[in-house]
Amino acid sequence: MTASKALPATAAQETGGRISLVARQPILTADEKVFGYELLFRDGVEDYFREVDSDSASRRTLDTSLQIGLETLCDGRRGFVNCTRDVLLKDYMTLLPSPLAVVEVLESVPPDDLVLAGLKRLKEAPWRCRMLAEKGETRGECTAAKAAGFIYFQGYFFAVPKFFTRKKYPLIASIVCGC
């Protein structure tokens, strides 16, 4: 695994899609110790999400997590993976090791009966489903989130995402992404 800052913005495209890019951003406890990392899909080395299709981005993050390994990506800590409705309902998260993976349900996922049933299945498996105070940009926002009862925090106030790359292995990509 290598830091990808030396790669051009279109590295994945220039290599015919044979490189997986992922960013991670620390998730901290109330006393600001690293609890784990949110894994963020990237298709270039810019520090933002360009993918229009959230399902594809979620599946590709899972794919990269399988290729590199959560243990490596998260330094032995937990990896929070953004899950869309489709990823939840198809139980793709069960491909990752439950002691290291945490389900992070996107804000855009409506809490309908099927989604709640999917989360219940994961929790019984046993999977971790956590509440996370995201996008903490200032000390005041983080203090307000603590006062509201949150115990896990993330945002640029603490750290920006860090990028990693790895060559793709087509077999794993075909399992998750249907490539």
Q: Hey, where are the domains in the chain? A: 11-130+162-167
pLDDT reported for residue 170? 47
**Average pLDDT over every residue of 75-87:** 91
Say whether pLDDT at 117 is over 90: yes
**What are the residues whose beta carbons fall under 8 Å from the beta carbon of 133, sequence distance 6 or more?**
142, 145, 146, 148, 150, 152, 153, 154, 155
Say whether pLDDT at 5 is over 80: no
**Average pLDDT over every residue of 30-45:** 81
* Confidence band, pLDDT 50/70/90 cuts, at residue 32: confident
**Average pLDDT over every residue of 134-159:** 82
pLDDT reported for residue 167? 52
**Domain covering 11-130+162-167, topology:** TIM Barrel (3.20.20)
pLDDT reported for residue 149? 86
**Average pLDDT over every residue of 140-149:** 86
The distance of Cα 93 from the centroid of its chain, to the nearest Å, equals 11
pLDDT reported for residue 79? 92
pLDDT reported for residue 7? 34
Give the DSSP letter of residue 48: S
